[in-house]
Chains A and B, each alone.
Chain A
Amino acid sequence: MSENFDNKNHENQSDPNYWRSFEELYKDENTLKSKLDEFKDGVTDDFEIDKNLSGLSRRKFLALLGASAALAGAGCSDYRDKGEIIPYNKKSEEIIIGKANYYASTCLSCENACGILIKTREGRPIKVDGNPDHPVSKGKTCAKGQASILDLYDPSRLQTPMLKRGGSFSTSDWKTTDQEILKVLNSDPSKEIAIVTHSIISPTTQKLFDDFKIKYPETQIYSYELFDNFIKNSAWQKCYNQQNFPLIKWNEAEVILSLEGDFLGIEGNKVEQVRLYSEKRDIMKGSNFNRLYVVEGNLTLTGMNADYRLRLKPDAQYDFVMGLLNEIILNKKVSQISLDNNSVSILSTFTLDTISKKYGLSKDVLNSLVSDLIKNKGKSIVYAGRSLSEKVQIAVNLLNETLGNTTLYNNNEALINSNLTDYIGFEKLTANINAGKVKAVIHFDTNPVYHLPAEFKYWDAISKSTVITFATSINETTALSNFVLPINHNFESWGDVKVRTSFYSLVQPVISPLYNTRQKEAVLLTWLSGDSKNFSETIYVDYLKNNWKSTIYPALNSLFDFERYWAGILHDGVAKINEKQQISYNFSQVALTQLDNQSESKAGYTVTLQESYTIGDGRFSNNGWLQELAHPVTKVTWDNYAAISESTAKKLSLKTNDLIEVTYNSNKLKLPILIQPGVADEMIAVDLGYGRTNSPVVANEVGFNANILLSKNSSLSRWILTGASISKVNGTYEIVSTQDHHTFDDTLIQDIHLKRNIIQEGTLSQYNKNPNFIHEKKHDAVNMYKDFEYKGVKWAMSIDLNKCLGCGDCVVACNVENNIPVVGKDQVALGREMNWLRIDRYYSGTPENPKVSIQPMLCQHCDHAPCENVCPVVATTHSDDGLNQMVYNRCVGTRYCSNNCPYKVRRYNFFNFRDHFRGGYQEQASFELVMNPEVTVRSRGVMEKCTFCIQRIMEARQEATKKNTTIKGTDVSTACQEACGTEAIVFGDMNDVESKLSKYRNHQLGYVVLEEINVKPNVTYLAKLRNTFSEEV
């Protein structure tokens, strides 16, 4: 209806036929006017706040009413409760929201005490890496160090002091416990106070103990480790009259012979050793590789990386070394030192020939070993594992001396011997407690009930004394204690560490204690002060600083005053001191009297007890990330087992998962077996650290407690038990691994990784002859479409398989960085582990002498990614910097991408694993704190995979934008790359031809896995070269 709003026109209108009222008919002025206004006066008034609100129009009023109701409804509703968000009242000087802070500290996960750099976000630590300024760790740390962050937030940590009253524990407070403990300490001074601790690596803790001894002279300190260098040190002392054990210049060794020594895996400071070792495996620096010989019983990480490996029962090592000495000294007439007749006659009873015949050692390998050792006099090293007996250690020292290898001992630095208590000492302690001569036993964060040999009946003994146990979470010892005192985590503590001459390392807290815990040293200080009231949060740091100020600082002649000096070393995490005296080592012939012509081997089975690669001596058993980290060799998770050779298993008619009973000195242990290639016959190898009986929920019922085989009477060493017996018992127990075990004799699948060119490898001589040898066969792949042109940065990764040792440190680093959940044994059994990065391990050769190939496998970020075109909802796409991306919110979880992924690197959330594992253990509040806030926590039903740490790329890009530059390949390093101790992983921009990455990518040894399917991966591998004599692999 067109209506003319002009009054006048209206009057002129000539349609009088339509009228609605008489007023209209007679053209009443008001009516006509009101007809023009659609709404009445007062109905459409504008809302003017200055005016009286009562003049508000009805319409406006209703509109406002509606709007305010809607606002109140929507705005104030509890839509996704975000919890309390409180802005800083006073902004902290250091914290910028969204920006990480890094603090140097020291990892106390083991006695190696590496320097670490802790990344914190908004005041909470979220990631641990090595401290680049630290002279030993140099920016690297191991899996345990990486994962220790989980222990900080472990919801099952002890949160308040506990007292045992009438057989059951009740929570208490520090005041009560302090008072009651002081009463005990101050009672009868004729009775001993026993402090049981691990290695004392902190000078200030040592001073604290000394002060404690001054106040309580009846105090005795006992220290132990489940695995220590006791035998090595004592042999060293006998040979060289030196307390401190020298460090080895691994990076200068041309030939390394390791006897039962897992120096790349678990022995010594692994972080440093792998770095030095791999310096001689760097193809970019030329093909001057070292050659690694390993003679060992169980297949260890070091053994699987060996160029030549001989399998030999550990109790035959003495015969072997003596045979080697005989061959080198008597037959080949190589000698730096002259031996007395007695030693010569002993040596002559051992010949390499008889040993190689007896144990089936390859003649060729032995010949090349002998000639290599002689040829590389002074440039080789023979390393005896810490578990070998003193006799072997002395023989090995002699061998090194003979070959002039002492030049490879570092004369400037030495490991400090932490003077542990031996079993005799602990036996005395137990006797004293049993005799009622000990009024208090203080377990200084130790778990001797679990760690000490069963014969001591330590658990029985301590019931006769007052037991005070410092612990982070419950353990076998806390259960038998009268007082259980919760202590700060490493990251909540202060401290200093000295494990080597020439520098100190500092520990500083990066978060205030999460619970009502105290640092163990602070508690001792409080007791020293005699009154619970004297505790303050700074009690220990004051003591620490005072100690530094009075003892260490004055000797340094620092130019700065103490406070500035202290701030400086805290910042660096390291304090270097001038302690570079030349240490000289003079071999003492007297030690040779220890050698005899008695072979160590005994009839029956040999059992070797080994430290777990993941959970250490058991102290990490409640750490899900470490429990789920696959064993580097067997790929087993969540369990220990008896590794046994195929032929021995056949002899006992055993299959993997069958249960056996091991008997040694009347100690019996039932555990399942795993048929493991490369294990010597007539022996089993068992990891310790499992089978915790009183522990928080993660570790309970995981594995078998092989500590009960430990015996003070074991003849060779604590960890090598000879003359054990094994019998099959009924029943099976399922051990699970992340990789299927395939039989060796199935011709269909034998060496399939080589046939498919998944693993490409050769020998060094092959490479020297023809550097391009792996690319002799070319694939001519045809593209159907024109490839996308990547301008600017294109991310790529290269992994040097010559340097990769397969330890799995990168896997844990990835877990921590990318919020990867723990799924538990049942899910690993089904093949549902969530690790974005896995280490594939392949065997070839025979079950007796397997060749092991290692390959880290992660999303290959293919240019022609097969996952992308099959996703129905475009949840996985490609970015223009070459990344294959996952859009979690869009993913509906069809799993088609994973089916179509030739590398099977995609991981699917079959459950909400955080909820599924151990009844929602990972959903507890404190676990929220461990999450990296830059990485989405994935929900159930969503696919996920490696992102090349896109959060780090984005951060670097933001930085570049801020600086008005463009991002460069070198600006980003991935979590796995950062963690890799050997720098095997290189990441960067492949479009930058000058970059390190491009050099790796275009190297002649570089190859992509499954090249023939033409998916064009952006991850390349450098083929492994074995440094063997012949060209054959």
Chain B
Amino acid sequence: MNIDYSQELPVVEGRLTLREINDLIARPMDERPNKKYFIALSFTLSLLFIGAISVALTLYYGIGMWGNNQPVGWAFDIVNFVFWVGIGHAGTLISAILFLLRQKWRTGIARFAEAMTIFAVMCAAIFPILHTGRMWVAVVYLLPYPNQHSLWVNFSSPLIWDVFAVSTYFAVSLVFWYVGLIPDFATLRDTTASKIKKVIYSIFSLGWRHSHRNWQHYEKSYMLLAGFATPLVLSVHTIVSFDFAVSILPGWHTTIFPPYFVAGAIFSGFAMVVTVLIFVRKIFDLENIITINHLEKMNKVILATGMMVGYAYAMEFFIAWYSGNPIEQFVFINRAFGPYAWAYWIMVSCNVIFPQFFWIKKIRRSIPIMLMIVIFVNIGMWFERFVITVTSLHRDFLPSSWGYYTPTLVDFGVLIGSFGLFFTLVLLFTKTLPVVSISEVKAVAEGAQPSHNGGDH
């Protein structure tokens, strides 16, 4: 295919009319869910149920149900937390940063990515609470509430920064998402035939009338919120990385962590978005709105961030050698060749080697291969966090207290449950809200924005 890169590619393919866009996006909400949907939902609910049992066991018996030990105080709990927070980052990046950069191609995927952000942060938020030994007091003590004991949280602890970072992130993402939804709620309100739906949509559309004033305010607030959310893309995972970087543990105590974590988060987030979108565009016939070009662009981002992550891996080794600190050097040699070498090499091959295939355009645009690679990236990024958390802890300063961490069934149960929660929420989302922003897609549809220099691409 010969593409003229001086011209932008059409964002929406197939020359859809505005009405057709409306109908296409709103269709899942108007139809009754079919059998396949219920099969999918029962599957994700089963996963969620496994998670619920595992959490109940943890609550009843204690953290001992997991494989955590001395010296590995953190394992799946924190790995899962960082993994899910990372997944969230793609959404904010797509909706906020790409919005500010006027990347029109984002419109087809922004809504979905944002929703995934919110669900991922919800999954992530379980773990900081769950990983504490006394959750029932942790939910109170971790907040700076006024009390007569003059007890205060420790503002020098990165875990407290985490509490603020994650809750801010969740709040801003939710508001940003909701504001974007308002015009769509109004559209749905106007088109729906069901009275109940009409009431609900009316409430959530906050009296939107598609007026110029409405649009003016909307555009302004959306841009402001995008401005708000943009630093969060960088700050949240920076602070999550501080959980490790602020400690004195070799393998954690590294200045490269903030950029490395942010790159990793975007890497894993895009991989997850691609994974889910591949299915969504097929199931809901959105191939014209979420086009192969979208996917290709995201694959390019994956390739770029994957290289950054790979650079970070290499740089960690270099700095360990360059620092001349033998304990630091040991940690990295031990990572690659010690008892957890298997995890390390899974990480390297999934995150650095497999994404290299995206240099090839055919692969970037091939759904099956792409799917395979992004799933590898998801696995690889989960292992990255595992490698950072567990391999640094299991052999630290004193050889006398070295140990080995083996996860238990409950560990896996909680991990499975978090996927169950995520996909349950995703499934519910696809049936209750427009998975693509109707108003934004209309705005970038062919001929929506006529201009003097042709504009008909």
Contact = CB atoms under 8 A, between A and B. Distances in A.
A896 interface: yes
B2 interface: no
Given A908-B70, A909-B133, A896 B159 contact: yes
A855 B400 CA distance: 10
Given A831-B69, A911-B61, A1010-B397, A872 B133 contact: no
Contact of A940 (B133, B156, B401): B133
Contact of B399 (A742, A832, A893, A941): A742
A759 B181 CA distance: 64
A890 B396 CA distance: 27
Nearest to A869: B156
Interface of A: 739-740, 742, 748-749, 752-753, 755-756, 758, 827, 830-833, 838, 840-842, 855, 857, 866, 869-874, 890-896, 898-900, 902-904, 906-912, 916, 939-943, 1009-1010, 1013, 1015
B62 A870 contact: no
Nearest to A897: B73
Given A873-B141, A1013-B248, A1013-B397, 13 more contacts: A739-B401, A740-B404, A753-B399, A841-B400, A870-B247, A872-B141, A894-B132, A894-B138, A894-B159, A896-B243, A910-B62, A910-B133, A943-B133
Contacts of A910: 62-64, 68-69, 133
B191 interface: no
B153 A873 contact: yes
B28 interface: no
B133 A756 contact: no
Interface of B: 61-64, 67-74, 131-135, 137-138, 141-142, 151-154, 156-160, 163, 243, 246-249, 326-327, 330, 333-334, 337-338, 393, 396-404
Contacts of B246: 870
B61 A893 contact: no
A827 B69 CA distance: 9
Contacts of A911: 61-62, 64
The 4 tightest CB contacts between A and B, nearest first, are: A893-B133, A941-B133, A910-B64, A895-B73
B64 A904 contact: no
Contact of B73 (A891, A898, A941): A898
A940 B62 contact: yes
Interface centre among B68, B163, B243, B334 (most CB of A within 10 A): B68
Contact of A900 (B131, B134, B137, B247): B247
B151 A890 contact: yes
Contacts of A755: 326
A1015 B402 CA distance: 20
Interface residues of B, dominant DSSP? loop
A661 B157 CA distance: 55
A869 B154 CA distance: 7
Contacts of B248: 866, 900, 902, 1013, 1015
A774 B68 CA distance: 37
A1010 B133 CA distance: 29
A892 B141 contact: yes
Contacts of B396: 902, 904
Nearest to A839: B400
B68 A895 contact: yes
A943 B133 CA distance: 9
Contacts of B151: 873-874, 890
B167 to A, nearest CB: 14
Given A903-B398, A941-B133, A942-B134, A874 B64 contact: no
Contacts of A827: 64
Nearest to A1010: B397
Contact of B142 (A892, A895, A912, A940): A892
Given A892-B138, A893-B132, A910-B62, A874 B154 contact: yes
A752 B399 contact: yes
Nearest to A889: B137
Interface centre among B142, B153, B159, B334 (most CB of A within 10 A): B159
A903 B62 contact: no
A870 B397 contact: no
A431 B399 CA distance: 56
A857 B330 CA distance: 22
A756 B396 CA distance: 11
B5 to A, nearest CB: 50
Nearest to B400: A840
B336 to A, nearest CB: 11
5 contacts: A832-B64, A872-B153, A899-B249, A941-B133, A942-B133
A566 B364 CA distance: 97
A909 B73 contact: no
A162 to B, nearest CB: 36
Contacts of B61: 911, 916
Nearest to A834: B70
Contacts of A872: 141-142, 153-154, 157, 159-160, 163
